[in-house]
């Protein structure tokens, strides 16, 4: 220790004394943007149970309520269809309906929605035929609808890979002079994927009119958020890209709708992208094939049941005199009618044409595909002859 100190003292010289050459100081470093306005608030935004509800349009509140009730029934019906073998799989959003519904209602007709495989309900709330929305999960085709019709991209099964699509579409729309916004949905697990990073980075650099909407439901199948990220929150990630991050209570339909609408409006006016994280919870298992009891306890689920999005809104509306017994029954009946129609239509076997296998691989079939189509045609003919 002594010798070290000695040695260092021998090389120490008075500042500047023996320097014949003075290096030019580098340019002073400046942060590119003040990170403070980009940071999310410490607490997720809540509107229900606060005075802020008074500012909300009663018509919107009633509509949100009806959609939540319908959404809950849709989740239950679709889950029942998996038990009857009518759906191969259904990733439920029970408990997350506020996020799904608000995402759909925050968009204008000309905007685009980029759902993940779990976001069937958002697509339905946007107006898509429930049966068309379930085609992927039933297994009769990979996408049951024309994405241009409702401006809903195909439900995306790989994680986060639809986020760059949303950026590209929003960017292209802006280049064409259209004030179109893309809203891209992803789960907490999806934020770990490389495409999440690349999409956010592209969007911020291009100032593309995109809203990234993370539904943090606590688990990526079985892996809890603590094992997914070390970030203070997923919304904090926004700061690193140079876009605002917003935290919202994902079970507060009014708050989610408000935050998403603000982000969409900001994007539409040329303000660039926003990352919104909604804190919510998946009440059901990942899918019908998952056993959630292996990774979480009943008490945790019960805590979240008490913070149910429908309960929260129903209580608020009732207190404010916007909802009575008749209104509740009306919403429940409308949901039941939807479920009955869905059940009936899903009980019919879909009519499939095997020749479709070759119809859309390329704009024009290659010679090889023409040969293979002929082979299948012959096999089908032989089958039908054999009865």
Partner 1 sequence: MTTHTTARPAAKAAAKPATMAQALQRAMRDAMAEDPTVHVLGEDVGTLGGVFRVTDGLAKEFGEDRCTDTPLAEAGILGTAVGMAMYGLRPVVEMQFDAFAYPAFEQLISHVSRMRNRTRGAMPMPIVVRVPYGGGIGGVEHHSDSSEAYYMATPGLHVVTPATVEDAYGLLRAAIASDDPVIFLEPKRLYWSKSDWSPEAPAAVEPIGKAVVRRRGTSATLITYGPSVPVCMEAAEAARAEGWDLEVVDLRSLVPFDDETVSASVKRTGRAVVVHESTGFGGPGGEIAARVTERCFHHLEAPVLRVAGFDIPYPPPMLERHHLPGVDRVLDAVARLQWEAGS
Catalytic residues: 282, 286, 295
Closest approach, Cβ 111 to partner 1, in A, equals 12
The owner of tokens 């909604």 is: 278
Q: Could you say whether residue 141 binds partner 1 (CB under 8 A)? A: yes
Asked if 218 and 247 count as a contact pair (C-beta separation under 8 A), the reply is: no
Q: Could you say whether residue 148 binds partner 1 (CB under 8 A)? A: yes
CB atoms under 10 Å from CB of 294, counted, come to: 8
Closest approach, Cβ 339 to partner 1, in A, equals 27
- Of residues 330 through 359, those in contact with partner 1 by CB under 8 A are 356, 359
How far apart (Å, rounded) are the C-alpha atoms in residues 357 and 53? 52
Helix (H, G, I), strand (E, B), or coil: what is residue 216? strand
Binding residue (CB under 8 A) for partner 1 from 182, 214, 225, 331 = 182
Comparison of 74 and 196: residue with beta carbon closer to partner 1? 196
Asked if 256 and 58 count as a contact pair (C-beta separation under 8 A), the reply is: no
The residues facing 186 across adjacent strands are: 214
Select the span of 72-80, 173-181, 247-255, 293-301 touching partner 1 (CB under 8 A): 173-181
Nearest 10 degrees: CA dihedral of 165, 169, 174, 177?
A: 180
Query: How many residues of this chain bind partner 1 (CB under 8 A)?
Result: 40
What string marks each residue from 53 to 82 as x (binds partner 1 by CB under 8 A) or -? ------------------------------
Binding residue (CB under 8 A) for partner 1 from 75, 82, 161, 288 = 161
Q: Could you say whether residue 172 binds partner 1 (CB under 8 A)? A: yes
Helix (H, G, I), strand (E, B), or coil: what is residue 242? coil
HSE on the CB side for 177, CA within 13 Å?
0
Q: Could you say whether residue 32 binds partner 1 (CB under 8 A)? A: no
- Of residues 198 through 227, those in contact with partner 1 by CB under 8 A are 198-199, 201-202, 205
Closest approach, Cβ 69 to partner 1, in A, equals 31
Both tokens of 372, joined, read 């293979």
The burial of 168, by beta-carbon neighbours within 10 Å (0-12 exposed, 13-18 middle, 19 or more buried), is given as: middle
Q: Could you say whether residue 169 binds partner 1 (CB under 8 A)? A: yes
Q: Could you say whether residue 158 binds partner 1 (CB under 8 A)? A: yes
How far apart (Å, rounded) are the C-alpha atoms in residues 12 and 104? 67
Binding residue (CB under 8 A) for partner 1 from 61, 163, 214, 220 = 163
Select the span of 101-109, 158-166, 282-290, 337-345 touching partner 1 (CB under 8 A): 158-166
Both tokens of 226, joined, read 């603590």
Q: Could you say whether residue 319 binds partner 1 (CB under 8 A)? A: no
Binding residue (CB under 8 A) for partner 1 from 146, 302, 325, 349 = 146
Q: Could you say whether residue 237 binds partner 1 (CB under 8 A)? A: no
- Nearest by Cα to 166 from 208, 104, 108, 119: 208
Comparison of 130 and 164: residue with beta carbon closer to partner 1? 164
Contacts of 318 (CB under 8 A, 6+ apart): 324
Nearest 10 degrees: CA dihedral of 96, 100, 103, 106?
A: -100
293 Cα distance to chain centroid: 25
How far apart (Å, rounded) are the C-alpha atoms in residues 254 and 257? 5
Q: Could you say whether residue 191 binds partner 1 (CB under 8 A)? A: no
The owner of tokens 């309520």 is: 65
Closest approach, Cβ 70 to partner 1, in A, equals 27
Closest approach, Cβ 377 to partner 1, in A, equals 19
Which residues contribute to the site for partner 1 (CB under 8 A)?
A: 141-143, 146-148, 153-154, 158, 161, 163-173, 175-176, 182, 194-195, 198-199, 201-202, 205, 356, 359-363, 366-368
């Amino acid at each position: 220790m002594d010798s070290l100190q000695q040695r260092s003292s021998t090389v120490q010289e008075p500042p500047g004394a023996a320097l014949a050459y003075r290096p030019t100081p580098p340019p002073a470093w400046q942060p590119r943007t003040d990170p403070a306005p980009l940071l999310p608030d410490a607490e997720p935004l809540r509107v229900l149970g606060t005075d802020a509800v008074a500012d909300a349009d009663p018509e919107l509140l009633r509509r949100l309520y009806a959609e939540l009730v319908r959404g809950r029934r849709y989740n239950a019906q679709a889950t029942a269809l998996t038990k009857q073998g009518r759906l191969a799989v259904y990733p439920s959003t029970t408990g997350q309906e506020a996020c799904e519904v608000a995402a759909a209602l925050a968009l204008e007709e000309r905007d685009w929605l980029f759902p993940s495989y779990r976001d069937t309900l958002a697509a339905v709330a946007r107006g898509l035929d429930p049966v068309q929305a379930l085609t992927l999960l039933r297994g009769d085709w990979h996408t049951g609808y024309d994405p241009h019709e409702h401006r809903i991209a195909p439900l995306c099964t790989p994680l986060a890979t639809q986020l760059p699509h949303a950026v590209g579409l929003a960017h292209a729309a802006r280049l064409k002079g259209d004030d179109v916004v893309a809203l891209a949905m992803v789960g907490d697990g999806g934020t770990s994927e490389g495409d999440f990073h690349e999409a956010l980075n592209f969007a911020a650099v291009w100032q593309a009119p995109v809203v990234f909407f993370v539904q943090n439901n606590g688990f990526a199948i079985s892996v809890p958020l603590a094992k997914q990220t070390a970030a203070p929150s997923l919304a904090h990630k926004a700061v690193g890209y140079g876009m605002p991050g917003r935290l919202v209570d994902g079970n507060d339909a009014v708050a989610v709708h408000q935050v998403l609408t603000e982000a969409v409006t900001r994007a539409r006016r040329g303000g660039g992208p926003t990352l919104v994280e909604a804190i919510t919870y998946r009440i059901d298992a990942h899918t019908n094939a998952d056993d959630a009891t292996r990774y979480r306890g009943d008490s945790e689920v019960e805590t979240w049941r008490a913070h149910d999005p429908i309960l929260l809104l129903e209580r608020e509306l009732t207190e404010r005199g916007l909802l009575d017994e008749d209104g509740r029954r009306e919403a429940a009946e409308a949901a039941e009618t939807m479920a009955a129609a869905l059940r009936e239509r899903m009980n019919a076997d879909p009519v499939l044409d095997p020749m479709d296998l070759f119809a859309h691989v390329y704009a024009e079939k290659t010679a090889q595909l023409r040969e293979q189509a002929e082979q299948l045609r012959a096999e089908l003919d032989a089958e039908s002859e054999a009865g």
